[in-house]
Chains A and B, each alone.
Chain A
C-alpha cells in the first residue's frame, strides 16, 4: 500500500484522525514552549548544524579516531557495510555467548535493519524494553513514531493488549496501572537476560564514549545488569568532541518532547568490570547518501521526531503510512536512498509547507530535499506513466500562450483542464470540494477590453 492509499484508509475514521492530530500537535506545542524559553535557541540550531556539517566533511577521520579511543577503552568495535552484515555481527556475538534471549532498548537503526525478525528466525528472543516499543511488539507491529512508538494506540486498546499478554484486569485502561504492569513484567527480563542491546544517540570521537538517552531508564537497566552490552549505531552519529554534547543535549529533548533534557543521558566509555562492550558501526547506505550533494544533510538527523510532530500530513496519516522504519518528513528523505522503487511515493507525501525544516534542531532543509527527491525520482523513471503523460500535456499547453488561452476558454467550460489537476476522468478534486464558479472572462480578456 503506498502512502496515499494508507492515508486514505487512516482518514476513514474521522474522529481518530482528529485524536491523532491533536495528540501530536500537543507535543509540537510542548516543543514550542521549551524552545521559546531559550533565547539562544536559533543560535544553538545553527551551531548544531555546523558541528554536524563538520562531522560529515571529516567523517572518515572521526570514525578512525572514535574506533581507536573506543578500543583503548576496552570496547570491541565492529563495522557493518549493510543491514545484513549488522544482523550477522549481532547474531555472532550472541552465538559466541550461547545466548538466545536478549533485552533491547530503543534503536531505530535495528528497526531499519529488521534485526528483530532476523534474530527471531535464528531462534533468538528479543524483548523490547521501551514501554512504547514493548506495546507495539506485543501487537506485532512496527513503531509508528521514532520517539513515541505507540502514539497511534489508545489506552483502552493497550488495556486489552495488556489484559491478554500481561494479565492486567479486563477493562483497565489506566496509564499508571498499565505502566506498573509493564514495569513488573520487564523488571523480570532485566534481571534474567545476559545480553542487552542499545542504540546510540551520540558517539564522541575524542573520547570513544557514546551517549544513550532515555526517559524510562530501560537502556541502563538492561546494560548494567547484563554481561554483554551491544551498541548499534549509524556511522553518522559521531560528534567530534565531548563538549559538543552540551549543544545536542540541549536541543534533543526540547525538540522531541519539550522536556529540558531526557531523564537519563548515559555516557558509556568502558565496559563494567567483567563485562563485554561491543559497538557496531553501520553504513547501510549512509556513505552513499553522503555522496548525494542535495541529500547529504539528511545525515545530520539526531532522531528527535520534531518534524513528525509538526507535519500536518504525518499527523493526519499516521506513521505506518510511510512504510519505513523512520516515518514522517525525515523518513521521506532518508527512505529513497535505501530503496528508490519501494519509497518513490514518500517525497510526494508532503505539501512542502516547510514546517519540518523550521523545527529541525540541526536545520536540515527537509522540505527542499523532498522537492529535490521528486525531481530525482521522476528523472530516474520512478514516476507513473500516466502522470508523465499528463505532465507533458500540461507543459505543452503552458508553453504556448495561444494554446493556453484557447484551452483556458474550454477549460472554464469543462473545468477539466486546470493546471494543478492531472488529467484524470475520476478527478479526486471533486470528492470533497467544488471547483470555482467559472467567470465569464479571464483576467487576460478583461485586461484587453479595459486597459489597452
Chain B
C-alpha cells in the first residue's frame, strides 16, 4: 500500500525527529511511504482564524501532493481533522479532494485501525502522561470523550500499552484542552497560557515524567511553558515513544 506522509508545517520546521519517527513506524509495518516534497501546510491556521477563504491555494497544493496515494497519514490529529473536514477544491480536483478526505488518517488510528498493529518492539521505562488533544479525540474520535455516556476506548493508549516498561499516568482531568487552539494561543494569551499551566500541573501532581500526545502543536505549547518554568517534565510525541528502544 502506498502511504503519503503528511508532515505538518511546524513539525517539518521544528520537530523533524517526529517526522522521522513517524516515517520509521510506517516503514516498520511494511508501508511503501512517499513524502511529497512540495507540501507546506493544511491551511488550518488561516481557517480557524476565520480565513478559510484564503486556503484555496493550500488546498490545491495539498490535492496535488497527495491525490495519488492509497492513504495519507500524518502525526497530528488537528491537521488531519482539518483536511478531513475542510479539504475542497474547485472543478475536477474535488473528486481527488474527496478521495483524500476519506483516506487521510492520524498516525495512531492508522496503526490501530488500518495496519492493525498488535505488537511494537519498543521499550520505554518511564511514567508517561498522555495528553488527549481535542481535535484528535473529539474530532477524530481517537479516544472516548469524558462527556459522553458511552464505552471507554483509546487508540493512542492501546498503542502505548504495547510498549515495554511504560507506566501510564492517570490524570485528574483526563481530556481537558491544553489551551493551544491555533491563533487562540496568541489572541487569548492569558487564558491559553493558564490552560497550559493547569494541564501541566495535572501531569506533575499525578507523577508524569514524560508528557506525550498525538498533536505536536499542543505539545509545543505545553513544552514552551514547561521550559519557561523549568519544570521537571520531558515532552515527546507519541511516535517517538512508539519507536523508542
Contacts and interface: CB of A to CB of B under 8 A. Distances in A.
Given A355-B138, A395-B57, A434-B224, A316 B13 contact: no
B170 to A, nearest CB: 16
B13 A411 contact: yes
A418 B13 contact: yes
Interface stretch (B98-106, B120-128, B139-147, B160-168): B139-147
**How many B residues are at the interface, by size bracket?**
35 or more
A399 B58 contact: yes
B183 A420 contact: yes
A398 B56 CA distance: 11
A341 to B, nearest CB: 15
A124 interface: no
Given A8-B190, A429-B224, A395 B58 contact: yes
B4 interface: no
B207 interface: no
A379 interface: yes
B244 interface: no
Contacts of A378: 49-51, 53
Interface string A151-166: 0000000000000000
Interface residues of A, number: 81
Nearest to B195: A312
B62 to A, nearest CB: 10
A379 B53 contact: yes
A374 interface: yes
Contacts of A420: 10, 45, 182-183, 185-186, 217
Contact of A412 (B13, B47, B49): B13
B183 A422 contact: yes
Interface in B215-232: 217, 220-221, 223-225, 227-228
Given A352-B48, A395-B51, A433-B193, A3 B35 contact: no
A310 to B, nearest CB: 7
B61 A401 contact: yes
A421 B49 contact: no
**From DSSP, what is the main secondary structure of chain B's interface residues?**
helix
Interface stretch (A37-45, A203-211, A266-274): A37-45
A79 interface: no
Interface string A170-189: 00000000000000000000
Contacts of B53: 375, 378-379
Interface string B131-154: 000110011000001111110000
Interface string A211-248: 00000000000000000000000000000000000000
A391 interface: yes
Contact of B14 (A350, A436, A444): A436
Interface in B192-212: 192-198
B52 interface: yes
B40 A358 contact: no
Contacts of A429: 185-186, 189, 224
B54 A4 contact: no
Given A401-B38, A421-B186, A444-B12, A436 B50 contact: no
Most buried by A among B13, B41, B43, B51: B13
Interface stretch (B88-96, B110-118, B171-179): B171-179
Nearest to B38: A401
Contacts of B217: 420
- Interchain residue pairs A-B with the least CB separation, the first 4: A351-B181, A433-B224, A399-B57, A378-B50
15 contacts: A7-B190, A42-B148, A313-B191, A354-B138, A354-B139, A358-B145, A374-B50, A375-B51, A395-B55, A398-B58, A404-B40, A412-B13, A439-B15, A445-B16, A447-B37
